[in-house]
Amino acid sequence: MCRSIKTLRRAELSATDEEIRAAALQFVRKVSGYRAPSKINQPAFDAAVTRVADATRVLLENLNPRMNTNRH
């Protein structure tokens, strides 16, 4: 998928809001095909970034804290 999105679930420390937002931005850019959307599409783009960041935060908060050593 998007190789610039790094793993945010780490045993030693929690992901920062900035890291979560950056990952969400990269995801929305990849899915939408826009690096920078037009003015008319900017509100939808920004809303998507916010929703993806929120969902990511909820996911990270609810995962079992034990690290899974099986990575894909």
The helix (H) or strand (E) run that includes residue 58 is helix 42-62
Token pair recorded at residue 58: 């909820």
- The count of domains in the chain is 1
Q: Grade residue 20 by pLDDT with cuts at 50, 70 and 90.
A: very high
Angle subtended by helix axes 17-32 and 42-62, to nearest 10: 130
Residue that wins the pLDDT comparison between 12 and 25: 25
Instruction: Write the single-letter amino acid at 50.
Output: T
Could you tell me if residue 9 is inside a domain?
Answer: no
Could you tell me if residue 67 is inside a domain?
Answer: no
Could you tell me if residue 51 is inside a domain?
Answer: yes
Could you tell me if residue 72 is inside a domain?
Answer: no
CA distance 27 to 1: 9
Could you tell me if residue 13 is inside a domain?
Answer: no
Q: What pLDDT shows up at residue 10?
A: 73
Q: Grade residue 58 by pLDDT with cuts at 50, 70 and 90.
A: very high
Could you tell me if residue 44 is inside a domain?
Answer: yes
Q: Residue 51: which domain range?
A: 34-62
Q: What pLDDT shows up at residue 46?
A: 98
Q: Grade residue 8 by pLDDT with cuts at 50, 70 and 90.
A: confident
Could you tell me if residue 68 is inside a domain?
Answer: no
pTM higher than 0.85, yes or no?
Answer: no
Q: Taking the CB of residue 26, how many other CB atoms lie within 10 A of it?
A: 18
Could you tell me if residue 20 is inside a domain?
Answer: no
